[in-house]
Amino acid sequence: EPEVTQTPSHQVTQMGQEVILRCVPISNHLYFYWYRQILGQKVEFLVSFYNNEISEKSEIFDDQFSVERPDGSNFTLKIRSTKLEDSAMYFCASLAGGLYQETQYFGPGTRLLVL
């Protein structure tokens, strides 16, 4: 069964460094998402992406964050200058779109630790 994949599974970085989290959505899906989950807290929406542009973003998704679909398969989340509070599990999700195809499928996550 097709699945969303994410790399790396774990990343440790120093505060102020840039990180890029990578996702490969399911191949025929059209909508892409990033969520994060700080340890012990709710899963929170960051951004959605459709037709090569951001369609919705949360207040968390400030100027330090950006997303890109550099080719036909990858979907990336970049954090320009990491802060301690960016430590979280980051989940990518994708959705096929269309009638009766509205389930968001999530990847296994990237655990980011900012020191």
Partner 1 sequence: KQEVTQIPAALSVPEGENLVLNCSFTDSAIYNLQWFRQDPGKGLTSLLLIQSSQREQTSGRLNASLDKSSGRSTLYIAASQPGDSATYLCAVKGFGNEKLTFGTGTRLTIIP
Residues that bind partner 1 (CB under 8 A): 31, 33, 35, 41-45, 48, 50, 55-56, 58, 91, 93, 102-109, 111
Q: Which of 87, 91, 108 shows the shortest CA–CA distance to 32?
A: 91
| Nearer residue to partner 1 within complex by CB, 32 or 82 | 32
Strand partners, 110: 90
Task: Indicate the residue among 48 and 82 with the shorter CB distance to partner 1.
Answer: 48
DSSP conformational letter for 26: -
Say if residue 5 is exposed, middle or buried (CB neighbours under 10 Å; 0-12, 13-18, 19+).
Answer: middle
Shortest Cβ distance from residue 16 to partner 1 (Å)? Answer: 27
Residue 99 Cβ vs partner 1, minimum distance, rounded to whole Å: 11
